[in-house]
Amino acid sequence: MILDGFMVAKKIREEVKNKVELLKQKNIYPKLVAIQIGKNIASEIYLRNKKSACEEVGILFEEMYFDENTKEDEIISTIERLNSDLLVHGILIQSPLPKKFDSNKFFNLVSEEKDVDGFCNINTSKLYHNQDGFKPCTALGVIRLLKEYNIPISGKHVVILGRSNIVGKPLALLFLQEDATVTIIHSKTINKENLIKQADILVSAIGKPQIIKSSMIKKNAVIVDVGINYLNKKIVGDVDFDDVKQESSFITPVPKGIGPMTIAMLLLNVVTSASDKI
Residue nearer to ligand GUN on the CB measure, 166 or 268:
166
Q: How far is the CB of 75 from ligand GUN (least distance, A)?
A: 14
Q: Between residues 166 and 216, which has the closer beta carbon with respect to ligand GUN?
A: 166
Measured from the CB atom, is 95 or 210 closer to ligand GUN?
A: 95
As measured in angstroms, the least distance from the Cβ of 46 to ligand GUN is: 6
Residue 207 burial by CB count (10 A; 0-12/13-18/19+): exposed, middle or buried? middle
Dmax over CA atoms of the chain, in Å, equals 57
The nearest distance, CB 136 to ligand GUN, in angstroms, is 6
Query: Which residue number places its CB atom closest to ligand GUN?
Result: 95
Query: Which of these, 145, 164, 182, lies nearest to 265 by C-alpha position?
Result: 145
Binding site for ligand GUN (CB under 6 A): 92-95, 117, 137-138, 166, 262
Least spacing, CB of residue 94 vs ligand GUN, in Å: 5
Nearest CB to ligand GUN, comparing residues 117 and 200: 117
Active site residues: 50, 94, 117
Q: Which is nearer to ligand GUN, 92 or 146 (CB)?
A: 92
Long-range contacts of 1-4 (CB under 8 A, 24+ apart): 1/149, 1/249, 1/250, 1/251, 2/245, 2/250, 2/251, 2/252, 2/253, 3/145, 3/146, 3/149, 3/224, 3/250, 3/251, 3/252, 3/253, 3/257, 4/253, 4/256
Q: Taking the complex as a whole, how short is the minimal distance between the CB of residue 158 and ligand GUN, in angstroms?
A: 20
Find the shortest distance in angstroms from Cβ 157 to ligand GUN.
Answer: 26
What's the rounded Cα separation, in Å, for the pair 57 and 90?
A: 15
Contact between 106 and 46 under an 8 Å Cβ cutoff? The reply is no
Which is nearest to 164 in space by CA: 223, 96, 222?
Answer: 96
Radius of gyration of the chain (CA): 19
Nearer to ligand GUN, 91 or 221 (CB): 91
